[in-house]
Structure formats: C-alpha cells, structure tokens
Structure 1
Amino acid sequence: MTVPDDVTRLLAERFGLESGDPITVSRDRVVELGGALKEAGFTYLVYVACAHYPATDAEPDRTVAEYRVRRLPVDEVAFRVWVPTGESTPTLVPVFAGCDWQEREQFDLVGTIFAGHPDLRRIMLPEDWEGHPLRRDYDIATRHHPWR
C-alpha cells in the first residue's frame, strides 16, 4: 500500500525518516510516531504482529514488532521497531488502546517485551508455560502438560 503524501512529509520533516511499507522507527521514537500518526487521523489500529529473527553474522538475535494503523476510509500505514532479545520496546497502549491484548498476545507467543504495558502477562498460554512457541528457537519437541 502506498504511504499517503501527508505522512511522507511528516516522516521526513518531524522524524527524518523515509517512507516505506513498513516504516522502520527506533524504539525511542515509536510512541512519538504512533501519536503523530493518530493526530494525522490514523485512529484505527489494524494489528500488532511480531516475529523472531535468530542471530546471523550481520545481526543480533531480535524480534520485530509491526503495527498497522488506518485512517478511514482507505489510508493505511505500517511501522515497525526492531527489539534485541532481552530488551524491550515501549508499549503503544497509551496511544492506541487496542494494542492492549494484541501486545500481550505477542509477548505470550513471541516473547517481545513491551515496557510500560499496563498488564503484560500471558493471554493465551498457562502462566507456567516455558518459552514462547512462535520463536524460531523454540524447541517444538518439548512435551507440555495438556491444557488445564
């Protein structure tokens, strides 16, 4: 999807970022970018999704958190933030209330930590579940207790 012209200008002037799909933003500016997009009319959170990327020769072990927001009727913008494993990225719950359960789901399944989240705990798996099953380093051969 093409990034709208007003967003391209906002990215360049206020954030020094280039337009893209998704837009990559640093952890220290992700809340500011989310707020700026909301002020520009992107009030509908479409999704929060995370993925795990194991370490390579060029990059450390990390996850990526991607957010997609919509300005009705048709404009959408996606932005992402890279999070080194064991570190956190700020929650966007204060900006988009709909991030609440979606960030919890990503924490539960991928292990991305959202600093400042009002209730960051497992949402799908039991509290005593070990690991995060959508990480690429998760041992799928591990036996687990049946659902309780």
Structure 2
Amino acid sequence: MNFQDIKNLLTLKFGENSILKEDTSGLQPILTVASAQLAIICQELHENPQTYFDYLACITAIDNGPEKGTMEVIYNLYSIPFNISFTLRTELIRNKPEEPLPQLPTVSHIWRTADWHEREAYDLMGIHFTGHPDLRRILLVTDWEGHPLRKDYKLQETYHGIKVAY
C-alpha cells in the first residue's frame, strides 16, 4: 500500500472533509487531517489490516508563531509488517499565552508511546491533549511558568530565587 492508497482509504472511510491537504514535495509525503478527526483516523490506521501502523515513532509539535496564528502536530507512523512509513499532520489555532491551551485528542490509547510524546508537546509547546491519562510536565518542574518552545515565550528572570535569565 502506498501513500495514495492510504489517502483513498481514509477519504472513503471518513469523507473528503477529513483530509485537508497533502504534500508530496518532500522525501516523505504528508497528509494533513482535521484535528477533530485525528484520533479516529489514527485508530483506523492502527486497526485496519491493510495498513496496521503498529509503531508511532514520534510526535513533533511546531509553533508557527503569533503572526501565522497556528501550531502543527506531526505524527510519524510505521507499519513493521508492511514496512511502510507514513506522516500525518494536523494544524491547531495558536492561542495567546494568557488564553486556554490549544487542544487535540490524545492517541495514547492507540499507541502507548504517545503518552510521553504528548507530555513533551504539552510541557514544551503548550498543547493540551484531551483524554490523556496523565498529562503533566515531563521535562520541566511542575511549577514552571509557560512553555519554552513557543515563539512568544518569555523567560522567567528568577525561579525560586535563582537567576535564570541573562
């Protein structure tokens, strides 16, 4: 099964509106899906005997900055039995730091490794994964303010009396 076959399978199952964009210009093609349907699309890719993406290699989050007003979450999937790699992407509205965090449904119930990947994206980028069983900071201390990989992050001058900004 190739990229186009997978795209066709998802379009037939979830409709034209679930697939927002495809990018075949890079080394690995990317399919952009609606964030509201991300978890059910991932479930299908994992459970469908034609695809069986049994391995979530990585979840990456990108902040496109306040000017563009979006964030991206990218999922690198792999099917060990079929030796197929697949990249799935979704885009979120980027909220201001004082507003509630952007939200995306968890896929940790599909791939256990998503637990830590989602916690890292939450900790560093400020993306809230709804339904996650244990969404808490994984790299920073629990009382750290903000999410340091966001483009509008303001570094604290001190943390518990220790100077952290230069």
TM-score normalised over the length of structure 2: 0.76
2:157 partner amino acid: R
Structure 1 moving runs of 4+ over 4 Å: none
Q: Which runs of 5+ in 1 are unaligned?
A: none
Summarize the Cα distance change of 1:3–1:52 in structure 2 as closer, same or farther, 3 Å threshold.
farther
Q: Which residue of 2 aligns with 1:76?
A: 85
Summarize the Cα distance change of 1:144–1:124 in structure 2 as closer, same or farther, 3 Å threshold.
farther
Q: Which residue of 2 aligns with 1:44?
A: 55
2:73 partner amino acid: A
Q: Which runs of 5+ in 2 are unaligned?
A: 24-28, 96-100
TM-score normalised over the length of structure 1: 0.84
- Give the greater-gyration-radius structure (CA): 2
1:79 partner amino acid: L
Give CA deviations for 1:34-55 in whole Å, capped at 9, x if unaligned: 0111122111011011011223
2:125 partner amino acid: V
* Residue 6 in structure 1 maps to residue 5 in structure 2: yes
- Aligned alpha-carbon RMSD (Å): 2.0
Structure 1 CA distance for aligned equivalents of residues 3 and 60 of structure 2: 22
Summarize the Cα distance change of 1:4–1:22 in structure 2 as closer, same or farther, 3 Å threshold.
closer
Q: Which residue of 1 aligns with 2:26?
A: none
Query: With CA pairs under 8 Å and 6+ residues apart, which has the higher RCO, 1 or 2?
Result: 1
Q: Is the 8 A contact 2:63 2:72 kept in 1?
A: yes
Summarize the Cα distance change of 1:75–1:144 in structure 2 as closer, same or farther, 3 Å threshold.
farther
Please state whether the residue corresponding to 2:151 is helix, strand or coil: coil
% identity of equivalent residues:
30
